Each structure stands twice: as structure tokens, then as C-alpha cells.
Amino acid sequence: MTAPYVMRPARRDDFDALMTLAEESGPGFTSLPVHEGIIRERLEKSEKSFAGEIDQPQYGKYLMMMVNHETGEIGGCSAVKAGTGIDQPFFNYRVITLAQASQAADRRHNMDALILTNEFVGFTEVGTLFLRSAHRGGGAGRLAAQSRYLLMASYPERFGDMVLAELRGVVDANGETPFWDAIGQHFFRMSFSEADILSAVSDNQFILDLMPKYPIYVDLLPPEAREVIGRCHADGVGALKLLEWEGFRFERTVDIFDGGPLVAAPRKLIRTIRESRIVTLIEGEASGESGIVSNDHFNDIRVSLIEGESRGENEFVTSKAVLDRLKLQSGSTARLWLRS
């Protein structure tokens, strides 16, 4: 029997639950700041996006909540931002390699350097994946992650051809990070937490104003800062593995605040999207195959874990409980991804 979780569009009355998730997510989780104004704004923007009230699709921001269908308890969330770098710059550091050579000194070696970039304009971003500790395991993490790709598959015209994900870097429970201490604090003259909040509530002009304009040689940084470049937070290791399984790759681009990795993939090549297909769901008792299914209704999408059995290429037999989570009847079509 599958866990009774369903992913659904966030609503404004999810405010208290989303604030709880923000508080539990910890420092450095930029997309879930403990800030009432930002949380309310994101819920409102998500409602409008799902309702099709956004004139330009690239401005859409879609937040989904993971709900226990039996108890109504919210256990997590995940989100999709249709277009990055459009309404405000999306700055990162790219790690470049510079060749150093001198015939006079008989020396040749490579050195890495960080340069400020804004090169992901128009990419769709997946993020805001967080589960409360009591709701982890049993496929819940996969459900929260893969539901975003089934959302994109249901209405691909609303999303970019390329998809990225930015993972939280190494930040401790007190909001301290060696990468920020080595670079950011010298240019911004503020704490990591202050900069993190400012980036969430502003248009990021302050980054362009204050960030270093020239390459930063990695070898000049203290060892503790060099070691965390491109490393994700311990809580994000599972999410990174899922992204890599989907086909995302690290291209030597990192967050400017905590040094966490940015990974990217072509939307059409993301495994869940590529392997999903439309089937007719038939109510019945069956087992042997498992995966994730969505009702494929973009405006009121529902995504659930599923167990059952294929009947040819176009039909899948599953329980009434799964159909209820999806708000579907036997004989309805749905988008299905099966474990291979």
C-alpha cells in the first residue's frame, strides 16, 4: 500500500503550515524565509499562476503542498519557477580555470577563479523542496520532487527549454557559512542571514552594486572556504542524488552566498518527463508495479504515489484510494511514471 500523500497546488489558507515549514527548514533555505510578507506573497503568486491569471507565462511561480490525504496534515512542499532572471537578476559564481605559464620561470599550472555571472535568464527553476522530519521516507521525497516534472509535462509551453536547481550550500544551525565569511562579508558588510533575507525581498540590485567586479582566485581563499565550493548542505544530499538521477549535471556554477551547487538539464531529457505517458486508470485490485501519477490537470493538479498493474500500454489498474487522491473516476486519463 502506498503512503496516502498527495501533492496539490498551494492555497492562501496554507499560510500557517508554510510558515511552519519555513521555520523548520533552517538557515540558508532562501526560498523559504521566515518572513510573513514573503510567504503570503508567494502563496498569492502561486494561486494566480495556477489559475492562469499571469499574463506572461515566464513569470509564473507554482508552489505545491504535500498533504496526507487521510488526515489533512501538510508534510512538505516543492515548487517550480517558470523563468529565472526575468523579473530580477539571477546572479551566481562560475568557476573558471585559468592557465598560468612562464617560459622564463619554467612553470605551467592551472588556477581556478570565481567570476560573477547572470547567465541563466529564462531557465525554469525547480526548488523549495522540503519535508518535515516526520514525513520523510516511504517515497515522500520522490513524490515531492517528481511532481514538479509531471507539472511541467502537463503544460510544457509554460516552462523553459532548460531547467535548473540551486541547492543550499554548507550552512550551520547558526546561519554561519565559511564561503560567506571568506568572500561575501567583506564586500557586503552584513551577516549571511541579512544578505539572504535582502535577496528575497529586493530586486537584487544590491548584489550588482556591492559584489566584486573582478575574478576571485580560489587559491587565495582559506581552506575551509575552498572545501565547500560546490558542496550542498547535508540535508540536501538526497535531493542532489534525485536531481542527478533525473539527468541534472553540475556545471561549475555556485551560489554567491553559500557556495552551494547549481545543476541543470534540458527539460525534454529529464527522466520523469521523458518516461511518463498518458494512460487510462481502471479501478481494481492489482499490484506488481509502482510509480507516480498525476491527473494531468494543470490548474488543479494532483500527484500521488501509485501501485497497480499495467494492462497493455494504455491502461493501468489501481485502487480507488489512488483515484480519490487524484479526484478522478475509473476510466479517466492520467499521466503515469513507473519505476523501471
Catalytic residues: 233
For the beta carbon of residue 96, count every other beta carbon within 10 angstroms: 14
Burial of 143 (C-beta count, 10 Å sphere; 0-12/13-18/19+): buried
Cα gap 47→257, rounded to integer Å: 30
Q: Could you identify the residue written with the cell 501509485?
A: 306
Beta carbons of 255 and 262 less than 8 angstroms apart:
yes
Beta carbons of 188 and 195 less than 8 angstroms apart:
yes
Helix (H, G, I), strand (E, B) or coil at 280: strand
Cα gap 212→192, rounded to integer Å: 16
Q: How many helices (H) and strands (E) does the chain have?
A: 11, 15
| DSSP string over 136-164 | -STTHHHHHHHHHHHHHHH-GGGS-SEEE
